[in-house]
Chains A and B, each alone.
Chain A
Amino acid sequence: MIVLDIDQLYFDEANPIASGLKSSFSKGHLYYIYGRNGIGKTTLFKTLAGLHQGYKGKIDIEKIPLIDFSPQERAKKIAFMFQTETVYPFFKVHEYLDLANIPNAENSIKEDEYKLFITQGLQLEPYLDRYLRELSQGQFQKVKLATCLLQMTDYIVLDEPFAHLDLIQKERMNIFIQELVTNRNKCVLLSTHHFDLNFKSNNHTLCLTSTQLKILNENSKERLIELLST
């Protein structure tokens, strides 16, 4: 379980982004996190992934403070899919996917099975031998998601994974993530702006505002819009 208890989230202490963020995230559950543009979703996700230290408070992963993890140990626990960075153009898709092995150099056969499950599930097989620069943004989005999942962590943080995807791909990817959470007991936090997602009993809706990370008891679009408007 991840326990989040952040008093203040900031870039520098004079400019706080959000405060009073308290929540916990368990394995076997999927959390959709909504929030207005610029409210700090990406910063919160980077903080959870250990890439941003600008906060007061604490984050524990399975009762161990996040700051006590070495970079490599942290990468074995939590994976982060981020929004696009410029990528070296000579990466082939299969080479980019192989990067996920870096934290777990000792991975064996299990990894190959899992890799097949992910690449088939996300329908990446037709373009495994293509360069990243030859892919559309939507295809690249799926490659990034696959690399993140192949890191084989229990906790997964996905920053707007449905960006650039068409309606069908978005729904497929959502269902794939839901199945992964249920069948492989993963804990996934996912930021999105889409309201029309298929929803299951182990899914939760959260809304990030500058003063709270509010869990909505029911998947109510009206309540979410109300919170986003405040």
Chain B
Amino acid sequence: MRIKISHKRLLVNLILGLILLFCLNIFLGSVKLSIKEFITGLYDTTSANYLIIHSLRIPKALSSILIGVGLGLAGFLMQILFRNPLSGPYVLGVTTGGSLGAALFILGSSLFSIGFLHPKYGIPLFSSLGSLTVLSMILLVYKRIKDPMTLLITGILFSSISGAVISILAYFSTAERLREFVFWSYGSTHLMNTYELLILTLSSGLCLVFALKNSKPLEAFLAGDIMAKTLGVDVDKIRVQIILFTGLTVGVLTAFAGPVAFVGLVVPHISRQILKTSNVQLQLISVCLIGSLFVLASDIVATLPSNAMSLPLNAVTSIIGAPILLFIVIKTKRFIF
């Protein structure tokens, strides 16, 4: 892949920014550390801060990166699939399907006798099942009606149905269960163990490998459906693969981190504006880096206000993401795709 010097410089800056924010994310937290304490805590196993940094903060920073990579990639691929700048991981209804699964477990546990499962396993399991169910239904619809616009509307319909069922479950739920579900729906980068991080790495990694491997057909997609078909791209096959990989990635992310808003929508737009290229490989790398930076920064903002608590990640990503998107629209006078 030939990369222009300006693009190389940009990628280097993004990598440096990522390193900086990663360190800052580990440095900041509810327990305030001096720089000396932070540095000794990084390597000195006898230090009291070693555990805080290695068991809590590094996994939290890593999960922020993985969420950013996964959602950024999913949004990027969705926008190519639908040729629609407002597409994001939410549009297929997979996220809401995951939320429905989690709601069934948290809110419906008293109704369906599933309380024997520990929430740590039950929520991701049910959330994954919810996402997979919606994903399967979407694939079935696409198999019958091979039209991206219909698929977009189908996704919105699935989201509405899932949202309605969640409302009914919430209506009949106890206050305590409702509170638990609301907290889950805020999205979080916290308390992920090595096993969970590995699953996130695998799902986002597979999505990235798929996209890199198909970067040329995806470039043809950017030139339009007819162009892609003329160039011998098996358009239907690639579409099904995009749905499958993004659906699985978003499903897994929702299962472990809850629904995280705006990342998948705003990150591809930022990447397009700064790169201004049709090179999909380059855009994929940039989407991964910007996605990581975005969630790391949001997570830092979320932990800033007080020692005792942190803001909901979902709210922070929206508060940061919306003005960025607004700025892009004002600058370019339209959404570019």
Q: Is A73 an interface residue when CB atoms closer than 8 A count as contact?
A: yes
Whole-angstrom distance between the Cβ of A149 and the nearest chain B Cβ? 12
The CA of A173 and the CA of B185, in the complex, are separated in Å by 60
Q: How far, in angstroms, from A89 to B85 measured CA to CA in the complex?
A: 13
A143-165 interface with B by 8 A CB criterion = 148, 151
Shortest B96–chain A CB gap in Å is 29
Cβ–Cβ contact A80 & B230, under 8 A: yes
Interface string of B209-253 (1 = CB under 8 A from A): 000000011011011111101111110000000000000000000
**A78 CB, nearest partner CB in chain B, Å:** 9
A151 contacts B231, C-beta separation under 8 Å:
yes
Interface size band for B: 20 to 34
Q: Is B337 an interface residue (CB 8 A)?
A: yes
- Would you call B326 an interface residue if the criterion is a C-beta within 8 Å of the partner chain's C-beta atoms? no
Q: Which residues of B contact A76 (CB under 8 A)?
A: 232
* Bound Cα distance from A82 to B227, whole angstroms: 8
Q: Mark B248-281, 1 if CB is under 8 A from A, else 0.
A: 0000000000000000000000001001111100
A95 contacts B232, C-beta separation under 8 Å: no
Closest Cβ of chain B: how far from A69's Cβ, in Å?
Answer: 9
**B336 CB–A CB distance under 8 Å:** yes
B216 contacts which chain A residues (CB < 8 A)? Answer: 101-102, 105
| Chain A residues in 8 Å Cβ range of B222 | 87-88, 91
Contact status of A73 and B232, CB under 8 A, knowing A86-B224, A87-B223, A102-B220: yes
Contact A82 B226 (CB under 8 A): yes
Whether A74 and B224, one on each chain, are in contact in the complex, defined by CB atoms closer than 8 angstroms, is no
Contact between chains at A103 and B226 (CB < 8 Å)? no
- Residues of B contacting A100 in the complex (Cβ-Cβ under 8 angstroms): 231
Name which residue of chain B comes closest to A46, CB basis.
B226
Q: Cβ of B224: which chain A residues have Cβ within 8 Å of it?
A: 85-87
* Count of chain A to chain B residue pairs whose CB atoms are closer than 8 Å in the complex: 79
Complex Cα spacing A79 to B226, Å: 11
Assembly CA distance A131 to B230 (angstroms)? 22
Cβ–Cβ contact B232 & A71, under 8 A: yes
Q: Mark B275-292, 1 if CB is under 8 A from A, else 0.
A: 111110000000000000
User: Which residues of B have CB within 8 Å of A101?
Assistant: 216
For A31, the chain B residues whose CB sits under 8 A away are: none
CB contact under 8 A between A91 and B231, given known A102-B216, A102-B217:
no
Contact with B along A96-120 (1 / 0, CB 8 A): 1001111101000000000000000
Closest to A103 in B: B232
Select one of A70, A74, A99 contacting B227, CB under 8 A. Answer: A99
Q: Is the C-beta of A11 less than 8 angstroms from some C-beta in chain B?
A: no
The residue among A46, A51, A80, A102 with the most chain B CB atoms within 10 A of its own CB is A102
Does A224 reach chain B (CB closer than 8 Å)?
A: no
A99 to B272, CA, bound (A): 19
- Nearest chain B residue, comparing its CB with the CB of A87: B223
Contact of A85 with B231 in the complex, beta carbons under 8 Å:
no
CB < 8 Å neighbour of A95 from B227, B229, B277, B337: B277
- Taking the closest CB of chain A, its distance from the CB of B234, in whole angstroms, is 5
In the complex with contacts A71-B232, A73-B232, A88-B337, A51-B220 CB distance below 8 A: no
CB-defined contacts of B278 to chain A, threshold 8 Å: 88, 90-92, 95-96
Given A70-B234, A102-B217, 6 extra CB contacts under 8 A: A46-B226, A79-B230, A90-B277, A99-B231, A102-B216, A151-B230
Interface residues of A (CB under 8 A from B): 46, 49-51, 70-76, 79-80, 82, 85-92, 95-96, 99-103, 105, 131, 148, 151
4 smallest A-B Cβ distances: which pairs? A75-B232, A85-B224, A72-B232, A88-B222
A-B contact pairs, 24 of them (CB 8 A): A46-B226, A71-B232, A71-B233, A72-B234, A74-B232, A75-B230, A80-B230, A85-B226, A85-B227, A86-B224, A87-B222, A87-B223, A87-B224, A90-B275, A91-B278, A95-B219, A95-B277, A96-B223, A99-B219, A100-B231, A102-B219, A102-B231, A103-B232, A105-B216
